[in-house]
Amino acid sequence: MLNRFTYPFCYVPHPKVLAAARELISHIDSDGQLRDIFSEGKMLGVMLCLDQDGKELILNAFSGLAKGRSQLPGFVPPIYDTQGLTPAVSAEDSRRIQGDLFRLYRVHNALGQEASVEEIFALRGLVPPGGTGDCAGPKLLEHAYRNGLTPLAMGEFWYGQAKGAEVRTQGSFYPSCTGKCGPLLTWMMQGLDVEPNPLDKGFDYGAEPRVIYADEAIIVVDKPAGMLSVPGKTEAKSLLEWLQQRYGEVHSCHRLDMDTSGLMVFARSLEAKTAMERQFAEREVHKTYRARLVSGNSPFRHARKGTIALPLSLDYYDRPRQMVDFENGKKAISCYEVLEVLPNGEIEVEFSPITGRTHQLRVHAAHEKGLGRPIKGDRLYGDSNGGRLHLRAATLEFRHPINGETMKFK
């Protein structure tokens, strides 16, 4: 029996969840009607449960509507079926309708408590966004509670065509969204023994930061994967704090994602910090990254060398994920070169970012209009197999902030 229920916002799917997902995909592929319904692209979910006799069973769910349908054979029903609204209610002001619906969406948790979606969000001083309660995760949990089932493990994955803005790949698992499902699933999981959030763990990769160069103005350091660049929301020690304990006054000039390893430069005075930040702002700092892309479900058909220009914006309801946004996104440009295709189908790539947006290389690698392959270990953008993120800041070139000398590190 499984020890703890899946932490849905950052997880590696349990092997039985993976097997259930493969079985569901195979079932959809072999059923012409279901294949047609889901081919346009849909987030699906599977949950492993125990019934009252101790027998394991699998529940399936889909997010939202499937070609206008709220219910399909073999999938759990919605928490509240909005297709049953009367014409009088449907004609009211949309905002008032939404408020009414969130009072009608009543859910349970493993403690036996019941509350509406509106009440759950109000506990945090929030108003639920549209569509809250219609994702696969909440549907699965609520169906389990209503039917006396014990949830053991869960996962959500994509089926069908990718949809423009978000990074979505057939068969890939993704974390539950933090905006709509964050407060809701957190409340619904009360009473379950849930896996700890991996992001709350301290720095435990077993490698210390390595100082490459230091003088009176700057420090160049090799940051290990899993370490924060600067202090964050957790109590884990950041690289900046690690340096300050050893060198006294140290200031950050730029950042790497926590899971990204490699070269960073820090300033040892405000004067040096200002000079370095000016170089970063004017794109005078040259960086390259090494990444390993997953093998993928189809042959890699992109050119060996090229440029990716996909503007990015924050996915407001699923922080910290970014999405491709051609209307309001900020310009994001990356050059790439394929260095090697490994025997197992994984691909070694060198990236040279022209801009420096949050998660830029991760999205440019994973999005269908980019390279269409997530970076190995990138659970946010489609690789849920676990392990570290295979993205490393490999080279760094800039002018010394005091004497102007060109500095190159590798």
- Would you mind telling me the total number of residues written for the chain in this entry? 410
Pick from 256, 363, 356: which is nearest to 318 by CA?
363
CA 207 from chain centre, in angstroms, equals 25
| Kind plus residue range of the DSSP H or E element containing 161 | none
User: What's the rounded Cα separation, in Å, for the pair 128 and 132?
Assistant: 6
Q: Judge contact between 43 and 156, C-beta under 8 A.
A: yes
Active site residue 81: no
For 78, 96, 167, 316, the CA distances from 129, given in Å and listed in that order, are: 17, 13, 21, 11
Q: Judge contact between 228 and 199, C-beta under 8 A.
A: no
Pick from 144, 59, 138, 153: which is nearest to 110 by CA?
144
Q: How many CB atoms lie within 10 A of CB 242?
A: 18
SS3 assignment, position 313: strand
Q: Which of the following is catalytic: 29, 204, 215, 257?
A: 257
Catalytic residues: 257
